[in-house]
Amino acid sequence: MKPKILIVDDEPDICKALEFLLKRENYAVNSAHSGEEAIKKLKEESFDVVLTDLKMGKVDGLAVLEKAKDTSPDTAVIIMTAFASIESAVEAMKKGAVDYIVKPFLNEEIRLTIRKILEQKKLIMENIALKHQVSQRIEACMDFVANSEAMLKITETLEKIVPTKSNILILGESGTGKGLIAELIHCNSPRRDRPFISINCSAIPEGLLESELFGYKKGAFTGAVSDKMGLIPLAHQGSLFLDEIGDMPPNLQAKLLKVLETGEVYPLGDTKPRLVDVRIISATNADIEKRLKEGRFREDLYWRLNVIEIKIPPLRERRDDIEVLAIHFMNKFSGEHKKNIKGIDREALSLLLEYPWPGNVRELSNVIERAVVLTEGNYITPKDLPDKVKNPELEKEPSGASSSLKTYLGDYEKNLLMKIYNAHNRDKEETAKALGIDLATLYRKFKKYGIEAE
Ligand SMILES: Nc1ncnc2c1ncn2[C@@H]1O[C@H](COP(=O)(O)OP(=O)(O)OP(=O)(O)O)[C@@H](O)[C@H]1O
Ligand SMILES: [Mg+2]
């Protein structure tokens, strides 16, 4: 989309000259030869910039300014005046003009003034977009739930570190909630009203990552047609979330380290640094210690990033979170899909508690969303769950060459016993009945597999 500019002057030659000049700058240019015509055009469409003469016939530049501000407050109005009288220009500025130009003007002056104004407008728009993201994020942060001892401990740590500026490294398998915790840290910190900028280091090609992070000056390389603000300067006074930091290429690791040490960023092709103040939250599901040992990740950078380390355990190691998460997702998706789901039945719940969740919380969220969509009643039941959750043993390969059929079947039997036992609320008689065995056999099997039966 080309920026739209309206030129207003009662001297047709000036309109023509300006049109010629600004079209060459690649703007969409329109002209009006009187104040009346300008007002008509302003009613019909909106412009990014209006460049208007001050002294015209009955309807002058000030009237055009007023009309422009009235119909679209975002339009930037520049006044041209042949009378180098400061007063009229000052009056126009007071009424909301962004700038004025004294005739006769130089082409360069017009070009630069318009360019500067459009750049400022762009920044303002970006800021509005960021504010919008902030309010969405605060909602997202209210989504965090925790019940297990491990997660409650993490929450306690978070409470302590959130007010500080310390860099944080979050470790954990895919889907454990690293991204969510990064947002949680930012939107509870004193930086919450400033940007939270997130970038996935493994999703962006190496060449682009550098210009994305640091920004560039116009002409820094072929294709750099205008200045571009980097993500690090954009995150100034806010937080920068570097996801999959383990995949950051070595030359960039060195550059990032320098930024952290000096607090300065050099956009590509620029000799002047920008001062930045960012809190870095990084995350990875890679084995970072292994990469350190192999020399694939710089140790000095690691210590800068890892002032505080948060290790999120996989879901299978904090089973006390499964139920609260499942209920949380059930409520969330029940609302989103306009269903009226009241709960998860006992049997379905015990299946959820048993399943190993290799995809962690993200997998649980997907399973519950699917169940909410599929279920016909008000409760989620086993038939709404995918087969892998109903029969995790069948999914599992016998582990390793050493495992014999006997141990495989033993594992299967133990899991089945546990499942049925939990599904019957740990009632042994009911469990035996459900399995079609007598109570004594049940006790024997419990003993064999070390299942506690108080
Ligand atoms: N404790 C939690 N409470 C509520 N929702 C959670 C929790 N943990 C994770 N989630 C949700 O689970 C999903 C996966 O979490 P997230 O994207 O943060 O994981 P991740 O560790 O960043 O994964 P990846 O390594 O694949 O990027 C998200 O929808 C997130 O909102
Ligand atoms: Mg993530």
Distance, CA 313 to ligand 1 centroid (Å)? Answer: 12
Asked if 202 and 294 sit in the same domain, the reply is yes
Tell me, in angstroms, the distance from the centre of ligand 1 to residue 175's CA.
5
89 with 20, same domain: the answer is: yes
Among 33-42, 64-73, 267-276, top mean pLDDT goes to 33-42
Domain stop point among 276, 311, 346? 311
Closest ligand 1 atom to Cα of 328: 4
pLDDT score recorded for residue 131: 62
Q: Is residue 341 part of a domain?
A: yes
Q: Which of 24, 16, 5 is nearest to 114 (CA)?
A: 5
Distance CA 291, CA 337 (A): 43
CATH number, domain with residue 18: 3.40.50.2300
Note whether 154 and 72 are same-domain residues: no
Query: Which residue's C-alpha comes closest to atom 9 of ligand 1?
Result: 177
In a domain, 48, yes or no: yes
What's the rounded Cα separation, in Å, for the pair 109 and 101?
A: 8
Tokens 């992070």 sit on residue: 213
Is 70 exceeded by the pLDDT of residue 403?
Answer: no
Q: pLDDT tens digit string along 232-290?
A: 998 989 999 999 999 999 989 999 999 999 999 999 998 888 889 999 999 999 889 99
Q: Does residue 128 fall inside a structural domain?
A: no
List pLDDT tens digits, range 167-212. Answer: 999 999 999 999 999 999 998 899 988 889 999 898 888 778 888 8
CATH number at residue 423: 1.10.10
Q: How far is the CA of 179 from the centre of ligand 2 (A)?
A: 4
Ligand 1, atom 15, residue with closest C-alpha = 177
Are 196 and 304 within one domain? yes
Give the ligand at the shortest distance from the Cα of 362.
1
Asked if residue 124 belongs to a domain, the reply is no
3-state secondary structure 288-307: HHHHHHCCCCCHHHHHHHCC
Instruction: Name which residue sits closest to atom 29 of ligand 1, judged by CA.
Output: 362
Query: Is the per-residue pLDDT at 84 higher than 50?
Result: yes
* Closest approach atom of ligand 1 to CA 180: 18
Q: Are residues 157 and 303 in the same domain?
A: yes
166 and 212 fall within a common domain: yes
Does residue 408 register a pLDDT over 60? Answer: yes
The CA 124 to ligand 1 mean position distance, Å, reads: 32
Q: What pTM, to 2 d.p., does this model score?
A: 0.63
Classify strands 274-275 and 239-243 as parallel, antiparallel or unpaired: unpaired
DSSP letters for 403-438: --HHHHHHHHHHHHHHHHHHHTTT-HHHHHHHHT--
- Ligand 1 shell residues, CB under 6 Å: 143-146, 172, 174-180, 285, 325, 328, 361-362, 365
Q: How confident is the model at residue 357 (pLDDT cuts 50, 70, 90)?
A: very high
Indicate the top mutation candidate among 141, 361, 365, 367 to test ligand 1's pocket, ranked by most ligand atoms within 8 A of CB.
Answer: 361
Residue of 1 and 140 predicted with greater confidence: 1
Q: Which pLDDT band, with edges at 50, 70 and 90, does 103 fall under?
A: confident
Residue pair 281/186 in contact (Cβ under 8 Å)? The answer is: yes
pLDDT at 57: 85
Banded pLDDT at 83 (limits 50, 70, 90): low
Q: How far is the CA of 144 from the centre of ligand 1 (A)?
A: 9
Nearest-CA residue for ligand 1 atom 24 is 174
Does the structure show a pLDDT above 90 at 322?
Answer: yes
Give the residue among 257, 106, 84, 115 at the shortest CA–CA distance from 98: 115
Per the structure, the count of domains in the chain is: 4
Maximal CA-CA distance, the chain: 107
Nearest bound ligand to the CA of residue 175: 1
- What is the structure's pLDDT at 401? 45
Of 224-233, 250-259, 423-432, 436-445, highest mean pLDDT: 250-259
Q: How far, in Å, from the CA of 314 to the mean position of ligand 1?
A: 11
348 and 261 share one domain: no
Q: Which atom of ligand 1 is nearest to the CA of 285?
A: 25
Report pLDDT digits (tens) over 118-147: 988 887 777 666 665 655 555 556 688 999
Neighbours of ion ligand 2 (CB under 5 A): 179
**Ligand 1: nearest atom to the Cα of 361:** 12
Q: 373 CA distance to ligand 1 centroid (A)?
A: 21
Do 387 and 409 lie in a common domain? Answer: no
Residue with CA nearest ligand 1 atom 31: 180
CA of 175 to the centre of ligand 2 (A): 7
CA distance 351 to 186: 35
Taking CA atoms only, the protein residue closest to ligand 1 atom 23 is 175
18 and 47 housed in the same domain? yes
Q: Whose CA is nearest to atom 7 of ligand 1?
A: 177
User: What is the Cα–Cα distance from 100 to 93, expressed in whole angstroms?
Assistant: 8
Q: Can you give the residue range of the structural domain that contains 113?
A: 4-119
pLDDT surpassing 70 at residue 395: no
Please report whether residue 232 resides in a domain. Answer: yes
pLDDT confidence tier of residue 339, bands split at 50, 70 and 90: very high
